[in-house]
Amino acid sequence: MSGRVVVIGLGPGPAEWMTPEARAAIDAASDVVGYGPYVDRLTLRPDQRAHASDNRLEMNRARLALKLATEGRAVAVVSGGDPGVFAMAAAVFEAVEEDPRWLRLEIAVAPGVTAMQAAAARLGAPLGHDFCAISLSDNLKPWAIVERRLRAAAEGDFVIALYNPASQARPARIVEAFDLLRTVKAAATPVAFARAVGRADETLTLTTLGEADPNLADMATLIIIGSSETRFIARDGARAWMVTPRAYGTRG
Ligand code: SAH
């Protein structure tokens, strides 16, 4: 039997944010490879083998998945959110050329709802116009690149979704990022901290770039920083909506 690898997005947390394709791919797997907490989220059958590992060992996980597939196993590699967004799909394809047998494997990617989409859905429509996603983690890229991209995104007036805002090793990074954005963008720019979206401890905090406390962000937080057009729509007795209109100026 020839093995295969499916790289699966589990969505941000709740079962209803996992696609039927992802669910079916997990059910069809003989082996599930992933970061411990994601593997723990799944209820596996006794005949399915779980290979949970530490978050920093992405490349090892990718190699393990490819190796198991060459042994004829049906492997599901799981990521939170979407597997193509700062997650395992890239690691699998970065590893795939290391062994000629791996290039002959059947490899598929099952998309998922990424954190940015889940957060946007809760907030209203903050990603309604041009936006970009930037990971603040400098484990895999130099901080100078992060700074260059933040500046360019701010100067381009994109809405910015910040992933991985809290570095345990370097907690000052998020403060530096906000300081940089404040040099380009207006203090009144709407900002949302969306924490643990879709989970029991979900928290949404609306603020402005001038007033935001970057230390609010932890590993489970996605930050959305508006463009010059983004605004809050206030509501009586309910959280404001955060909206980036699709048009500059009025449209008929
Ligand atoms: N592949 C994932 C992202 C992995 S990077 C995806 O597509 O969502 C991990 C970062 O994603 C976290 O630091 C946080 O910024 C964000 N994140 C993941 N799940 C989240 C959730 N439920 N709520 C808010 N942010 C989340």
Q: What is the CATH number of the domain that holds 104?
A: 3.40.1010.10
Distance, in Å, from the CA atom of 73 to the CA atom of 22, rounded to the nearest integer, reads 18
79 and 120 together in one domain: no
Domain interval for residue 158? 116-243
Q: In this predicted structure, what is the pLDDT of residue 168?
A: 78
Domain boundary among 113, 133, 160: 113
Residues with CB under 6 A from ligand 1: 12-13, 79-82, 85-87, 114-115, 119, 163-165, 194-199, 219-222
Q: pLDDT tens for residues 65-108?
A: 999 999 999 999 999 999 999 999 999 999 999 999 999 999 99
Ligand 1 centroid vs 80 CA: distance in angstroms?
Answer: 7
> Quick check: 80 and 114 in contact, CB under 8 A?
no
84 and 199 together in one domain: no
Distance, in Å, from the CA atom of 25 to the CA atom of 75, rounded to the nearest integer, reads 9
In-domain check, residue 252: no
Instruction: Please count the structural domains in the chain.
Output: 2
Distance, in Å, from the CA atom of 122 to the CA atom of 79, rounded to the nearest integer, reads 21
105 and 149 together in one domain: no
Q: In this predicted structure, what is the pLDDT of residue 82?
A: 98
Which residue stretches of the chain have pLDDT < 70? Answer: 1, 55
185 and 163 together in one domain: yes
Ligand 1 centroid vs 170 CA: distance in angstroms?
Answer: 18
70 and 18 together in one domain: yes
Q: In this predicted structure, what is the pLDDT of residue 102?
A: 97
Pocket test for ligand 1, best of 88, 127, 222, 223 (most atoms within 8 A of CB): 222
Ligand 1 centroid vs 111 CA: distance in angstroms?
Answer: 14
Q: In this predicted structure, what is the pLDDT of residue 247?
A: 84
Alpha helices in 104-171 (DSSP H): 115-123, 143-155
Residue found by looking up tokens 């795939």 in the block: 96
In-domain check, residue 66: yes
**CB neighbours of residue 77 within 10 Å:** 33
Ligand 1 centroid vs 161 CA: distance in angstroms?
Answer: 11
Domain boundary among 113, 135, 165: 113
In-domain check, residue 207: yes
Q: In this predicted structure, what is the pLDDT of residue 250?
A: 79
Distance, in Å, from the CA atom of 178 to the CA atom of 31, rounded to the nearest integer, reads 42
Rg of the Cα atoms in the chain? 20
Pocket test for ligand 1, best of 7, 77, 162, 163 (most atoms within 8 A of CB): 163
